[in-house]
Amino acid sequence: MASNTLTLTMTVASEPAQSASDLELARAAAAGSSAAFEKLYEQHHRRVYSLCLRMLGNTSQAEDLTQEVFLQVYKKIGSFRGESAFTTWLHRLTVNQVLMHFRRRGVKLEHTSEEGDFANVVETPLQSTRRISMVDRLALEKAISQLPPGYRTAFVLHDVEGYEHEEIAKMLGVTIGTSKSQLHKARMRLRELLTKKIAATGE
């Protein structure tokens, strides 16, 4: 029974197929076509901005980072060889920009003692799936934005963007165990935040 549920929930956001137009646009942009670059922006800016927003939790910073990402795309488009999907290349470039942003600001992505551990959850059946499922996506987005940066980064990269722990560990320069631990604590904190939201709204 449990294994059936697991199969459903382990579906990771799939990578869109390589778009021929992306590759053509990237080559044209590399050759100096501003129209091609603008088209790339039109096609991908929402995805880039959404990733920045979820990792940073702040619209103003997310816009600044999106701008920085596309300026980097403009500078580096010549290095895109088409061996991977353009979206994969762009996605990785975006994550790197956000991580550099964190480093420049001295944001610690590893667990710190002030973030605290979670006590063992012992609760009544009232805090059930049925109640959590009433939480809308906006509430989940808000709760994600309230996570500490380290938890949020691990959660967004794994649960929203579909990266594996090995990839996250490499990107963040941490151990796989740390990545798993951050993700677990992020989910725990989200659950706590969403439960409080339900209690506050009286749903």
Residues that bind other proteins (CB under 8 A): 2, 5-6, 8-13, 27-28, 30-32, 34, 37-38, 41, 45-47, 49-50, 53-54, 59, 62-63, 66-67, 70-71, 74-79, 81, 120-125, 127-129, 132-133, 135, 137, 140-141, 144, 155, 159-160, 162, 180, 183-184, 187, 190-191, 194-195
Using CB atoms within 10 Å of the CB of residue 176, give its burial: 0 to 12 exposed, 13 to 18 middle, 19+ buried.
middle
Residue 97: half-sphere exposure toward Cβ, Cα within 13 Å: 25
State the minimum distance, in angstroms, from the CB of residue 47 to other proteins: 6
- Which residue carries 């799936």 as its tokens? 129
Nearer to other proteins, 74 or 107 (CB): 74
d(CA 54, CA 12): 17
Alpha-carbon distance of 146 to 185, in angstroms, equals 13
Cα–Cα distance measured from residue 111 to residue 22, given in angstroms and rounded to the nearest whole number = 38
Structure tokens at 194: 């969403």
> Closest distance between other proteins and the C-beta of residue 128, in Å?
6
CA-CA distance, 43 to 37, in Å (whole number)?
Answer: 10
Residue number, 40 or 99, with CB nearest to other proteins: 40
Task: Please identify, using beta-carbon distances, which residue of 17 and 122 lies nearer to other proteins.
Answer: 122
Closer of 37 and 102 to other proteins (Cβ): 37
| Residue 115: CB minimum distance to other proteins, A | 16
Query: Which alpha helices (H) appear in 107-175, and where do they start and end?
Result: 129-132, 137-145, 149-155, 165-172
Q: How far is the CB of 199 from other proteins (least distance, A)?
A: 14
Nearer to other proteins among residue 34 and residue 84 (C-beta) = 34
Least Å from the CB of residue 107 to other proteins: 22
